[in-house]
Structure 1
Amino acid sequence: MNWDQIEGRWKQMRGHVKREWGRLTDDDLDEIEGQQEKLVGLVQEAYGVKREEADRQVRNWFDRL
């Protein structure tokens, strides 16, 4: 799977994202629209981690899909 596929299937992927990062709200998920950089930014903001850590978390999640 690649990020284009995630963007195309975002409604189905929302549940996976919500299970991984429960602090993200439905409004956050609407804003992300499947875009990797937006997801990284909101993970960073919601969890108070550095950009590099948020990026690592998103990449690890993506690799497990």
Structure 2
Amino acid sequence: MKWSHVEQNWTAFYEAITDRWPDLTEDDLEEIDGDRRAFIKAVCDATGDEAEDVAEELREWLAGELPSDVVMDPTHDDHSIRNSAKYVGDGEDEYDEDENFGDDEEEDGAA
């Protein structure tokens, strides 16, 4: 994951951030508003850790998987749906209900 993704979906990351850095409050996060430098400074202030150490922790955290609660965020869902268009055949709409993509039962011989 990249910081730009965190920044763009800042509020969706609140829970994941406070899980990793429990010394940060929601007020801290609102003030940071996705700014990476402000984030590192806030963690340093809250924990007493050095900026270099916090930056390394952040790099390690960003190397991990995208938190599932963020994946389920409506903003991320809309982005994923738009990106799914490349896998949808001609004449089909990625926003259509799944049932409009064909009937799985037809392959089994049922209609």
TM-score by length of 2: 0.54
Report % sequence identity.
29
Q: Distance in 1 between matches of 2:2 and 2:59?
A: 11
- Cα deviation per residue 1:13-38 (whole Å; 9 max; x = unaligned)? 11100100111011101011112111
> When you count helix as a share of all residues, which structure comes out higher?
1
Q: Does 1:29 align with 2:29?
A: yes
Q: Considering only aligned residues, what root-mean-square deviation do their CA atoms show, in Å?
A: 1.1
Aligned match of 1:19: 19
Higher relative contact order, chain-length normalized (CA < 8 Å, sep 6+): 1
Aligned match of 2:78: none
DSSP-derived class of the 2:63 partner: helix
Aligned match of 1:58: 58
How many corresponding residue pairs? 65
